[in-house]
Each structure stands twice: as structure tokens, then as C-alpha cells.
């Protein structure tokens, strides 16, 4: 192997890479929050009695789950241009990731609600709780419990997939790495550093979710 | 569009897309087959190995699931180049995608073996079956049933993730559509075609997987 690894440019760029990692986190959190909200709406829409609510929601969920995320990012970034709708890299990537997350979370929420037997709601109502009380105190905590781990997996997955922002001109961690790569041609060194940062972020998020989950659901059976 | 540098979408372009679609299928199928074989082997290691083997294997596999696939592709591609063995994008893409698939399948395979349970394995051993016979006639058929739907899910995600191989210069379906976008400026039509292709592969198979899962649960 006739190659001298040169790590100095990577060390010099670490502050910029760290800042870009924050952009990655920001993009992921924003996409995740929007995706969760939309996913919940989609889940309700799919359970609705109205065809006009059920049908578009199902199309959304199936398209989100059955096409590549990169394809979805490209549709938001380039595909909408034909209609005169030009989104910035940031908005396009966040929209695509939120669109995708909503599709996956709608299914997860459906499973979560299905895990709470309807008799529990009836029992709570017959104990004198109002509909809102019964949902807030009996149903929702159990749903959160059921979707917690799939949700954290989805979040890690969103963080990893936000790296595709690089291909749509977004300067998050991967995009910033690519920028430094284009200036120094130290491809391996820079992307190795990016890989380490992604790994650390993923592990920290997982650990945090474990700890929060453990605190929230202490003493509850799975 | 007189005098424009862009040309309209024609049949040659559709053919170009079709060829690229075949390349998407090709790289996915190879990666799924190689990755699944490797993954089952790794999953067996995870389920049956000693603690040191288990710990190190799961630690290494975890890296492939915690680093973006895009970064893995670029890293591997640049590594073989600086090591003096530059590869065609197809090969480095296939290798990375196979290993990534193996890391995902390993978790599925381990779950399958563990679902069968130690008691069942002990029972078959005490009936006089050898370890390999137990694996072949008891663990494999029962375990496969419990995790086959998850394996379908992993395989479909490999088909979708094969789109990322475009980043290291392999012209598969998504990359081909981008080339046509710049040539014809009819991006939405092309994208609709490309999305439909992925959807038509993924949707029926995932529905089939869901049905199997529901039927086998009974």
C-alpha cells in the first residue's frame, strides 16, 4: 500500500465537522417531530370511517414505505421544480425525511393502539372517567410504552438517512465532509472521521433512549 | 422547444431507464443472496457461539448498522483505491451492500434460532439427533417460519438502499433518472416512472410478507 494517511487536515476541520454534526441533529429532530405528528394523523385517518380520509392516508403510507428515501429526497428537491416549486436543500431534506418517517410511524402507532384492548377504555369510562381522561391516563401511556423502542430505532435511522442530504446539496455532517474532501482530496480520512461521529451519535441516542425508557417504564411488564 | 439544448423524452430514454432498472435488480439480488447466506452464518454464530465470539461479532455488526450506508460505500470505495486495488463501482457497491445485508440478516437469523428455544433443542438432542441434525430438522424449519417475514422486510430494504450505490458512480435506476432529468428537463414524469418501478417491486412483496406473517401467527 503506497499511501500515507494524512490526518492533520481532519483534525483542523474538526470544529467545522462538529458544527455540521449539530446541523445533522437539528435536521433529524425537526424531521422526526414533524414525522411523528403526521404519522399520528395518518394513523387516525386510516382508522377513520370516511373513505376520503382513509384512502389518501393509505397511499401516503405505502409510497413512503415502498420507495427509496433517496428517491423521496430527489422528488422534493428536483421533482417539484416542474411545478415551479423550488425547495431549498434544507426544506427538501426535512420534508422527505418527515414524509418517510410519517409513513413508518403510522404503522407503528397502529400497532401501539392495537396493543391496548378496547375493553380497557370501556372499563375506564365506566369508572367515571371522561373520554379524554380515559385516553390520557389509560390508553396513551400504554401506547407510548409500546411504540417507544420502534420510535427510537426510527430516530437513529433518520439520523443515518439525513446523510443523504449530501446528495441534495445540504451541508450537514456528510455534506460538510464532502466539502472538505473536495478541497483536500483526503476522501478516506474525512469520511472515516464522519463515520466515527455518526457512530458516536447513534450510540448516544440509543443509550439516552434506553435510560429514559427505563425511567419511564420502570416496573411495568413488557 | 426549438433551439433548446434540452431534448424531449423519447423511447431511447425509456430503454436507457429500463436497462438501469435491470442493473438495480441485478445488484440487489446478488447482495441479498450473498448477504443472506453470510447473515445466517453470522446469526448462528451470535446465537450459538461462546461469549467472546458473540460479543465481538455483535460489536462489529453493530458498526454496520450505526454508520450511514452512504458513508460505508464511500469509505470502502476510497479504501480499495488507496490500497492499490481500485474496483469498478459495481463491485465495491455489491460488496458493501452484501455486508450491510449480512449485518441486518444476522439479527433476524439470531432471533429465529432463539425463538426455537433451548428446550426444543435439548429435546431433539435427547431424541438422539446430532447437533447438525437438530439444526437441520428442528431449528431451521421452525425458526424460518418465525422470521421469514422479517427477512422479506430486510430484502426489500436492500432493494431500496441499492439506490445509494449511485453515489460512488454506479448508474442504476435512480442515477439514470437523474441523467435524464438534466437532459430532458421533464423531471416529474421521469421520477413518477422511477418511483412506480420501485413501488411495483416492493409493494406486492411486502403485502405478501404481511399476509404470511398473519397466517403463520395463527
Domain of residue B95, CATH code: 1.10.3720.10
**What sign does the CA torsion over B122, B128, B134, B138 have?**
negative
Domain count, chain B: 1
Show the domain range for A101. 8-216
pTM score of the predicted model:
0.91
What pLDDT is recorded for position A203?
96
Best of B25, B59, B71, B158 to substitute, by most chain A Cβ atoms within 10 angstroms, is B71
- Calculate how close chain B gets to A130, using CA atoms only, in Å: 35
Q: Is the pLDDT of residue B3 over 80?
A: no
What pLDDT is recorded for position B216?
83
Please compute the mean of the pLDDT values over residues B25-35 and round it to a whole number: 97
Does the residue A2 lie in any domain? no
Show the domain range for B39. 20-176+185-210
Non-local (6+) Cβ contacts of A153 within 8 A are none
- Calculate how close chain A gets to B128, using CA atoms only, in Å: 37
What is the C-alpha separation between B147 and B111, in angstroms, rounded?
Answer: 7
What pLDDT is recorded for position A79?
85
Please compute the mean of the pLDDT values over residues A94-123 and round it to a whole number: 94
Q: Which residues of A38-56 are buried (b: 16+ CB within 10 A; e: fewer)?
A: bbbbbbebbeeeeeebeee
- Closest chain A residue to B78, measured at CA: A188
Does the residue A113 lie in any domain? yes
Does the residue B217 lie in any domain? no
Q: Do B70 and A192 touch (CB under 8 A)?
A: no
Non-local (6+) Cβ contacts of B104 within 8 A are B35, B39, B65, B154, B157, B158
Q: In this predicted complex, what is the ipTM?
A: 0.90
Please compute the mean of the pLDDT values over residues B57-75 and round it to a whole number: 95
Please compute the mean of the pLDDT values over residues B129-137 and round it to a whole number: 90
Interface check B213 vs A, CB under 8 A? no
- pLDDT per residue as tens digits for the range A45-83: 998 899 999 999 999 999 999 999 999 999 999 888 778
Please compute the mean of the pLDDT values over residues A94-108 and round it to a whole number: 97
Which residues from chain A sit within 8 angstroms of residue B185, using beta carbons? 82
Does the residue B168 lie in any domain? yes
Closest by CA position to B71, among listed A9, A180, A191: A191
- Calculate how close chain B gets to A172, using CA atoms only, in Å: 13
Q: Do B72 and A195 touch (CB under 8 A)?
A: yes
What pLDDT is recorded for position A100?
98
- Calculate how close chain A gets to B177, using CA atoms only, in Å: 10
What pLDDT is recorded for position A1?
66
Question: Which cell numbers hold the place of A68?
Answer: 427509496
What pLDDT is recorded for position A6?
85
Q: Is the pLDDT of residue B1 over 70?
A: no
Cβ pair B30, B94 in contact under 8 A: yes
What pLDDT is recorded for position A220?
66
Q: Is the pLDDT of residue B45 over 60?
A: yes
What pLDDT is recorded for position B14?
84
Which residues from chain A sit within 8 angstroms of residue B163, using beta carbons? 68, 70-71
- pLDDT per residue as tens digits for the range B118-127: 888 889 989 9
Q: Do B66 and A156 touch (CB under 8 A)?
A: yes
- pLDDT per residue as tens digits for the range A183-220: 988 999 999 999 999 999 999 999 999 999 999 888 66
Q: Is the pLDDT of residue A38 over 90?
A: yes
Mean pLDDT, chain B, as a whole number?
A: 90
Q: Is the pLDDT of residue B103 over 90?
A: yes
Give the pLDDT band (50/70/90) at residue B159. Answer: very high
What is the C-alpha separation between A72 and A100, in angstroms, rounded?
Answer: 8
- pLDDT per residue as tens digits for the range A20-34: 999 999 999 999 999
- pLDDT per residue as tens digits for the range A133-191: 988 888 888 999 999 999 999 999 999 999 999 999 999 999 999 999 999 889 999 99
Does the residue A66 lie in any domain? yes
Domain of residue A166, CATH code: 1.10.3720.10
Does the residue B96 lie in any domain? yes
What pLDDT is recorded for position B4?
64
What pLDDT is recorded for position B120?
86
Does the residue A222 lie in any domain? no
Of B82, B188, B202, the CB nearest to A79: B188
Q: Is the pLDDT of residue A18 over 80?
A: yes
Domain count, chain A: 1
> How many A-B residue pairs are in contact by the CB < 8 A criterion?
108
Helices (H) and strands (E) in chain B, counts: 9, 0
Best of B21, B24, B66 to substitute, by most chain A Cβ atoms within 10 angstroms, is B66
Q: What residue spans of chain A are helical by DSSP H?
A: 8-47, 51-66, 69-77, 89-114, 118-126, 131-134, 140-161, 173-184, 187-216
Amino acid at each position: 500500500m503506497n499511501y500515507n494517511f494524512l490526518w492533520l487536515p481532519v483534525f483542523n476541520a474538526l470544529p467545522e465537522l462538529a458544527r455540521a454534526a449539530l446541523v445533522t441533529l437539528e435536521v433529524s429532530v425537526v424531521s422526526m417531530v414533524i414525522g411523528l405528528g403526521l404519522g399520528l394523523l395518518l394513523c387516525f385517518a386510516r382508522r377513520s370511517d370516511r373513505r376520503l380520509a382513509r384512502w389518501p392516508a393509505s397511499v401516503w403510507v405505502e409510497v413512503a414505505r415502498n420507495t427509496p428515501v433517496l428517491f423521496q429526497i430527489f422528488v422534493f428537491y428536483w421533482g417539484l421544480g416542474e411545478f415551479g416549486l423550488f425547495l431549498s436543500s434544507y426544506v427538501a431534506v426535512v420534508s422527505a425525511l418527515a414524509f418517510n418517517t410519517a409513513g413508518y410511524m403510522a404503522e407503528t402507532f397502529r400497532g401501539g393502539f392495537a396493543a391496548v384492548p378496547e375493553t380497557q377504555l370501556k372499563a375506564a369510562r365506566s369508572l367515571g372517567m371522561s373520554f379524554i381522561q380515559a385516553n390520557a391516563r389509560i390508553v396513551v401511556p400504554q401506547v407510548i410504552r409500546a411504540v417507544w423502542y420502534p420510535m427510537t430505532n426510527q430516530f437513529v435511522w433518520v439520523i443515518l438517512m439525513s446523510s443523504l442530504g449530501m446528495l441534495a446539496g445540504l451541508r450537514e455532517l456528510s455534506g460538510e465532509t464532502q466539502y472538505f474532501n473536495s478541497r483536500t482530496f483526503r476522501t478516506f480520512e474525512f469520511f472515516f472521521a464522519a463515520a466515527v461521529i455518526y457512530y458516536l451519535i447513534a450510540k448516544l441516542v440509543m443509550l439516552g433512549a434506553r435510560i429514559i425508557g427505563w425511567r419511564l417504564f420502570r416496573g411495568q411488564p413488557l | 422547444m426549438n433551439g433548446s439544448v434540452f431534448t424531449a423524452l423519447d423511447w431511447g430514454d425509456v430503454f436507457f431507464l429500463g436497462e438501469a432498472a435491470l442493473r438495480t435488480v441485478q445488484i440487489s439480488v446478488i447482495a441479498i443472496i450473498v448477504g443472506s447466506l453470510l447473515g445466517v452464518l453470522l446469526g448462528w454464530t451470535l446465537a450459538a457461539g461462546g461469549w467472546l465470539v458473540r460479543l465481538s461479532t455483535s460489536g462489529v455488526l453493530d458498526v454496520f448498522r450505526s454508520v450511514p450506508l452512504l458513508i460505508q460505500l464511500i469509505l470502502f470505495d476510497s479504501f480499495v483505491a488507496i490500497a492499490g486495488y481500485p474496483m469498478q463501482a459495481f463491485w465495491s457497491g455489491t460488496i458493501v451492500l452484501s455486508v450491510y445485508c449480512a449485518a441486518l440478516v444476522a439479527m433476524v437469523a439470531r432471533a429465529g434460532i432463539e425463538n426455537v428455544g433451548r428446550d426444543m433443542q435439548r429435546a431433539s438432542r435427547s431424541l438422539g439427533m446430532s447437533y447438525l441434525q437438530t439444526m437441520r430438522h428442528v431449528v431451521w424449519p421452525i425458526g424460518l417460519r418465525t422470521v421469514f417475514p422479517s427477512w422479506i422486510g430486510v430484502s426489500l430494504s436492500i432493494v431500496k438502499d441499492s439506490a445509494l450505490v449511485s453515489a460512488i458512480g454506479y448508474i442504476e435506476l435512480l442515477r439514470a433518472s437523474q441523467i435524464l432529468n438534466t437532459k430532458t428537463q421533464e423531471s416529474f414524469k421521469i421520477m413518477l416512472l422511477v418511483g412506480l418501478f420501485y413501488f411495483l417491486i416492493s409493494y406486492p412483496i411486502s403485502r405478501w410478507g404481511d399476509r404470511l406473517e398473519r397466517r403463520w401467527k395463527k
